[in-house]
Amino acid sequence: MNTPEITDSHCHLDFPDFDGELPEIIARANDAGVTRMVTICTRLRNAPQVRAIAEAHDPVFWAGGTHPMSAAEEPMATLEELVALARHPKFVGIGESGLDYHYTADSAEVQKDSLRVHIEAAQATGLPLIIHARAADDDMAQILREGFNRQPYSCVMHCFSSSADLARAAIDLGFYLSMSGIAAFPRSQELRDIFAAAPVDRILVETDSPYLAPPPHRGRRNEPAYSALTARIGADVFHMSYEEFATQTQANFDRLFWKAAEWQAAA
């Protein structure tokens, strides 16, 4: 029987954790049914290296932006820079951007300014915004809603592990929630309940590798193949077979990351 195909919608293949191993990493992902992955550039100065990975490996797409935890130490991203990156045929999303007050609350105002630039880029390009949110739910909901009210855009709340209120705010705007290995942790029942309350046609899966490996790999390096383990938890959450959940999340990814779907259709 063929392994159902899924997509790791968020990983960091340019990180040194994967140095010299990318062919093997991608092969293991394919063996697990993970036939596509989006590698995320978190500092715009690293865009050439991230782009090169997507160019060298057919299953890999890329996105770029300034991570909120780096916003205060990196040059402020400009709309022009992000729009220019989006011209690359395998560039499929804007970010990750967002707000993180857990470790970097002192740079909150810079993070907000950076987030607003990324929202403008999503609006200008039609590509989905990729959001990192931690310990900033109220500000996050307000800024996302304000931007959407000015001009609608699409968005995924990557590695979602925030409150039910932020989940509802995102879903109400037509956004997507991405399920990471955190959802597979034994003590994450409250988070699984938040996902279960969301429409299944707004759910993606990801690894955020090399971080947040799901059981039985927790505490070790994560890699795209393990998104299949999280997807099995997702299937349980939504009372679906793995095959049904995989098919649904593939359709969700294609709808949100339309440029990846178009690139594959033309290949």
For the CA atoms of 153, 206, 245, 228, the dihedral, rounded to the nearest 10 degrees, stands at 160
Q: Give the closest residue to 10 by CA, choosing from 29, 36, 32, 33.
A: 36
The structure tokens listed for 15 are 């990180």
Please tell me what DSSP assigns to residue 22.
H
Residue 158: per-residue pLDDT: 98
Rounded Cα distance, 257 and 217, in Å: 28
Rounded Cα distance, 139 and 109, in Å: 11
CATH number for 6-261: choose from 3.30.70.60, 3.30.1600.10, 1.10.10.60, 3.20.20.140. Answer: 3.20.20.140
Residue 2: per-residue pLDDT: 82
Q: pTM of the prediction? A: 0.96
- Strand, helix or coil for residue 213: coil
Residue 267: per-residue pLDDT: 76
Sorted by where each begins, the domain ranges of the chain are 6-261
Rounded Cα distance, 112 and 98, in Å: 8
Count other Cβ atoms within 10 Å, centred on residue 89.
12
Full pLDDT tens readout for the chain, 267 residues: 589 999 999 999 999 999 999 999 999 999 999 999 999 999 999 999 999 999 999 999 999 999 999 999 999 999 999 999 999 999 999 999 999 999 999 999 999 999 999 999 999 999 999 999 999 999 999 999 999 999 999 999 999 999 999 999 999 999 999 999 999 999 999 999 999 999 999 999 999 999 999 999 999 999 999 999 999 999 999 999 999 999 999 999 999 999 999 998 887
